[in-house]
């Protein structure tokens, strides 16, 4: 399993789950020094010269890209399930640009909040039809470029549909669309009963994982048994990224350091002993 950290290419909003911002030398060197081999990228406009240059800087530091995340588009009011066909078309165009950007670094593109809101009542069925139609348009772009589109289940407090892993899995299987899953242990802790079992059931579709504790901080800084989940993924032969899409608390560097400490302890445990990881703040 590869380890990565979330990085934003723009000044984010309050509460944004990105440990780092910008691609200056010090930032990228620190990410690599902590042992991370990749990043998830929050991207605003992939055509900006500085964002194009970021790809080269990441390569220079030996950092791959797990997922390109278009969450800012949702903040800007764009939705793949919008009732207005012109707005849906524009959302597809913007995410299409993200797909082309991701293709230059063998990355994936996440489909989370940018799906929009389904609403209540009979309108939900129409929402899912519109959403599936937008996915089909995006797949026309992503499949030739070999960029996986990864669906992220998001908890009920942030989204009103596809909240649990099982709901997202059911959507993919029933739609028949060649989509994959990006599971996030923060959201799973809210919506799923048995996280380990969800990982097992979703394994054939899981391409990417946001691996954070119950409080959206590094593993060991909350109350989830992250070591058990790590071992579950090892047994499933998961080989993708485990990304710290975490809140930068007490600072981005400290959270990244604690994540690296956890991952290091698990790797040592797998290879040598079964020593226990000491959670953050323990004596």
Q: Is the pLDDT score of 273 beyond 80?
A: no
Residue 267 confidence class, pLDDT cut points 50, 70, 90: confident
User: What domain range includes position 81?
Assistant: 2-271
Predicted local distance difference test score (pLDDT) of residue 111? 98
Give domain status of residue 282, yes or no. Answer: no
**pLDDT tens digits, 185-233:** 999 999 999 999 999 999 999 999 999 999 999 999 999 999 999 999 9
Q: How far is CA 138 from the centre of its chain?
A: 18
For 144, phi then psi, to 5°, come to -60, -30
Predicted local distance difference test score (pLDDT) of residue 272? 53
Nearest one of 65, 71, 57 to 24, comparing CA atoms? 57
The Cα 133–Cα 128 span in angstroms is 8
**pLDDT tens digits, 76-88:** 999 999 999 999 9
Where would I find the H helices in the chain?
25-33, 49-60, 71-75, 85-103, 123-145, 165-175, 185-191, 195-202, 226-235, 252-271
Scan for tokens 């994959």, then name that residue: 180
Nearest-Å Rg of the Cα atoms of the chain is 18
The Cα 162–Cα 173 span in angstroms is 13
Give domain status of residue 126, yes or no. Answer: yes
Secondary structure (DSSP) of 60-125: HTT-EEEEEE-HHHHHTT--TT-SSHHHHHHHHHHHHHHHHHHHTTT-EEEESGGG----STTHHH
Give domain status of residue 41, yes or no. Answer: yes
Averaged pLDDT for residues 44-67: 95
Cross-strand pairs, 244: 5
Mean pLDDT (the chain) is 94
**pLDDT tens digits, 125-136:** 999 999 999 999
Q: Is the pLDDT score of 70 beyond 50?
A: yes
* Total domains in the fold of the chain: 1
- Angle, CA of 211, 213 and 218, to the nearest 5°: 75
Q: Is the pLDDT score of 122 beyond 80?
A: no
Predicted local distance difference test score (pLDDT) of residue 282? 46
User: Please, what is the angle between helix 165-175 and helix 195-202, to 10°?
Assistant: 20
Element (H, E) at 180: strand 180-184
Q: Is the pLDDT score of 275 beyond 50?
A: no
**Among 128-132, 241-245, 279-283, which is the least confidently predicted range?**
279-283
Predicted local distance difference test score (pLDDT) of residue 121? 80
**pLDDT tens digits, 143-152:** 999 999 999 9
CATH number of the domain bearing residue 217:
3.20.20.150
pLDDT more than 70, % of the chain: 95
Predicted local distance difference test score (pLDDT) of residue 159? 95
Give domain status of residue 176, yes or no. Answer: yes
Give domain status of residue 149, yes or no. Answer: yes
- What does pTM read for this prediction? 0.92
Predicted local distance difference test score (pLDDT) of residue 270? 66
Predicted local distance difference test score (pLDDT) of residue 227? 97
**Is residue 3 helix, strand or coil?**
strand
Residue 13 confidence class, pLDDT cut points 50, 70, 90: confident
**Among 1-5, 71-75, 95-99, which is the least confidently predicted range?**
71-75
């Amino acid at each position: 399993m590869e380890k990565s950290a979330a990085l934003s290419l723009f000044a984010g909003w309050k509460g944004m789950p990105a440990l780092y911002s910008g691609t200056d030398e010090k930032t990228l060197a620190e990410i690599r020094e902590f042992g991370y081999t990749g990043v998830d990228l929050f991207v605003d406009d992939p055509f900006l010269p500085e964002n194009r240059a970021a790809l080269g800087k990441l390569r220079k530091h030996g950092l791959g890209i797990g997922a390109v995340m278009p969450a800012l588009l949702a903040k800007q009011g764009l939705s793949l399930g919008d009732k207005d066909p012109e707005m849906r078309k524009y959302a597809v165009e913007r995410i299409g640009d993200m797909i082309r950007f991701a293709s230059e670094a063998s990355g994936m593109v996440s489909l989370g909040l940018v799906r929009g809101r389904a609403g209540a009542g009979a309108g939900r069925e129409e929402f899912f039809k519109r959403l599936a139609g937008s996915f089909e348009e995006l797949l026309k772009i992503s499949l030739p470029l070999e960029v996986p589109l990864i669906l992220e289940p998001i908890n009920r407090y942030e989204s009103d549909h596809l909240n649990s892993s099982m709901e997202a899995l059911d959507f993919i299987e029933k739609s028949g669309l060649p989509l994959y899953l990006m599971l996030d242990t923060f959201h799973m802790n809210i919506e799923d009963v048995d996280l380990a079992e969800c990982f097992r059931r979703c394994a054939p579709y899981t391409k990417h994982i946001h691996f954070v504790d119950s409080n959206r901080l590094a593993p060991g800084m909350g109350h989830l048994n992250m070591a058990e989940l790590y071992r579950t993924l090892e047994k499933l032969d998961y080989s993708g990224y485990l990304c710290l899409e975490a809140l930068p608390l007490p600072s981005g560097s400290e959270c990244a350091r604690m994540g690296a400490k956890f991952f290091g302890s698990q790797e040592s445990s797998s290879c040598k002993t079964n020593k226990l990881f000491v959670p953050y703040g323990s004596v």
